[in-house]
Amino acid sequence: MSRLVLTAALVSVATAIAVGVALASAAGPDYLEVTSWKATAKNGSTAKLSATTKAAIPRHPDAFVRSNPVVGVAWADLQTSKAFVLTIHPVIGRDSHQRPDGWHAHIVTLAGGATAPNDFCLAGINSSPTAGIVIKGSTIGANVRLSTLPVPVAAVDTAVGFTVQADAACASKLAVRVST
């Protein structure tokens, strides 16, 4: 699959959150249920994003990852429907130069209009920035240049685990489904 598919899926999650739509959400593995998160500026040029989940996050694709188009964690700004996401998606193939077969970053735009149980439409994948990604047990994080984030770190409202799924109601045909 193409980079457009990944973009569409990620945008849906951010859009649903941004427009205040009640999340349909779906059960996923405990490693996609975010229990706490942070988005902070480390200095004048770098941000640190982290999310802790209910279970250890796999470094390599497990059965759940291999059975979904895209799996990830998003840090989203609800006002702009923009999100920084860390994703893994062996099902749709490579779309990044940094760890193309593993966890890597994207900037996405979300939109409303997804069909339940999906939460958002993936409106676009804006970029694939380089990030220092760390997975330690149930925590995933990234060190990233402030200039590559879609919004200032103070604008990040939430972090969620998600999958991207097909949805004919979305212009991109991709939707984000928040994991609960």
Q: Residue 89: its pLDDT value, please?
A: 80
pLDDT at 14: 37
Q: pTM of the prediction? A: 0.83
Alpha carbon 117 to its chain's center:
17
Across the chain, which has 180 residues, the per-10-residue mean pLDDT values are: 39 36 62 98 95 96 90 96 92 55 90 96 93 96 96 97 96 94
Distance from C-alpha of 140 to C-alpha of 57, rounded to nearest angstrom: 7
Asked if residue 12 lies in contact with residue 109, where contact means CB atoms within 8 angstroms, the answer is no
φ and ψ of 110, to 5 deg: -110, 165
Q: 130, 104 in Cβ contact below 8 A?
A: no
